[in-house]
Structure 1
């Protein structure tokens, strides 16, 4: 009767009933019993026990650090220490300094070092840079110059240090040490006159952790307030960054994650005294052994039920899904852009129903897409060809309208009259203008050296400086570099014109600065064009940089004012290839920086340049 009921329902109803009866209901019952009665309780107990144990360990560690702080407090006021604070290299004899060093080591340092194997060494440095060091408990060779330099660096940071501060982990001759710094004050002036520096071994911290936790945890490590690891069983992890707050919430100091295919509990406890966070992990399996057999039994039962259900569902749906899977594969090919493929048919059982109609509709769609793509591609090729021809025609028309000799003779005549009339500014501007015309019109080379471009642009900027008295122009390029760097002709002038028009004039600003800087890079030569005008919007800057990266025209309006940088970049990229061209490094209210990446002169390009 059940099977006759299934035959009357739709495919969706049949699949739903099979999955509901043979998969969902059994899994829900077993899952509710398993997770509700056992796993949740065990996990909660494991978390609470581990948190309590870790908090107890942190309390012992706070006691150890507090004891160290209290033990160092009395010695900073001792007479030898106070006398050493005002000691300078030329104020006493070597014998007096030797005697004072000996008194400090025997009276002050010995009170701390006695019976403590956790102290690697202790140093005192005054504000003149003079030091007393005691590393007598180290049995191997030490480079004391390294220790003195390290102490000097800490002295230079005195203003940023607290009165008593525990620094980051460091290494002295491959020995990890934890540096503790206490400021030493002059008892008369109450000013900071030196530092007491103690380097701690990590053995005492390790002993505290092992004694309290009794190997409960798999691994315990400590992170300071800067998220730097200052204690870890694996010394290669010391000093590394560990962001324990990444998955931590305000109400929970633990998380459960997967480590090496094992569910692992990670607990954290922060000390208010040291601002250290102690972190430990323990495999959940270690605290869930009592229910392991029961969990395995339920897993096998669940897998068996899933297998039976899959047999029913798979046998029923195979004939339907096979044809749909093949159609899905064809759709993925079409999605990736491959629209031409063999037109297979669905299974014979579905040749005359909706599945067959779906196949036919898909093939008709791909055929139409192929036709449209070919039409669009053909249209774009024609547009590109027409655009190139139009630009070439415009260029030829502009060049044909200019009679270079007439312009040169006219400018020379103006220059002569200016000299006769003692109009030196007009003479300079006329000479610069003639140089610009000669370079732009008479020079037929497509590729020039950067030196030629710089020479041409000097004439342009000389004219601008005559126009704007407050304009400051800075050139910072090396002569020996730019004569070996290649560029397309008329590369710099459009960029500089953009700076004057869009950086200054459009915003009502008087041009005040133009900088041209150059340096070598791994690809060739980097040339920076800098102005102090009002830059473009961030969206405009991103649009241009995207266009430069893809070598496609930007979405900005293609007026004569906007196509300058695009044309320069496309000419550079077409001539020299990747990665040469333009990049807008910065553009804001303080100015704009344009980076032009250019190649160096090679044997193949010498003839062309």
Structure 2
């Protein structure tokens, strides 16, 4: 903290600019980018996981249906005759093929709209069916190696149609030994509806891999039969999940799910760069523009700072000169007033007048002389020394006692909270100008005989409130509002504001200059029913 205070204003503002603008701007931009890309990534992963669940569910459902539909076919009497028949018996073989084509083939075709081919091969070398299913060569030696009588054999492309081949063993019902195989071919696109599956982006891919981690199907036909990338195989664990693939120069999100029934793995690839689109470029451009703006702002800020510094120095010097002139003017006025009155001469003169009044038995003159002497004795003391409110009230009583000799209807009512007059402090002759103002401006100026003037005091938490209230005629509301606005300003220059009355302003400025805010004057009310002026005084500090 000490080091910060030692820095110049320019360095402080520069540090403030960096800490509260530059760093938060960059941090917010980085957080926004990470949150946005993270949300897009999570949405894409969630969507592709749902897509994998749908495709895997369709394949599992179809797998189960075909397994049930073809379960009884190996035991069909025509199929059993076919696997026992020697291929050399051509006539019998031809008739048997015709019977199978009429009875067995329609059984599968009519029950499954996805059906595209059927092929049966015996261990003796005989075969029947169409070319679609028969393009897959069956090795008799493999039949004894499999533990499953029904499984997915392969996926191959016939023209533009991806075809999935299901393999089922045929055992001889007499020897219970493998004697042949049956292969059913179905349109994979109709099963999974892959062509209509919505993928995110132009580079999105859907693939199917077998248990040996080879592509049985891929949106790119060139990948059919190829092994999965080594980086994929090492990271594809469990039944499903996702990972980021950074190989090939293009970051990809790979989502996969393995079916427990078919043991096939459904895979989707999504280009990360295509997913986030132009966000990285937008981030870079935004950072460059922000840096340019910050540089320009810093240059402009530096020029403004120099100009502000110059103006502050000019204003500061101007205020110092103005205050110095005003203080000198006040000291000159005070000095001239004090030099005009010789206290000792005045007191002696008043004593002589009082003596003559007593000898002549003129009691009013004697009382007025004593009262006037007390007033002069109170007023000639140090004007800058604060006095208690009680002393100032006594002085006001003396002043109003003399004024009542001139104005018969003049009456002053003083209402102070009990034992509070000694708690507040103010300067000498603070209230007298307000009382004089009330007599002259509220009554005489409007042709009225001075009447009642009330002085009401109350102790508030933050200050002591002393109100001078008359029943004459007040000033216009806009003038009262203007006075209050000027009283609230920090400037202590009356001449700069052009106030029409020096009395109110001098009382206010003396209190404000000595005690600060909120002390001073405030006009609470002024109108046809009179004026209510509040004087806010500070409490005396405990010694």
The structure whose Rg is larger is: 2
Structure 2 length as normaliser, TM-score? Answer: 0.44
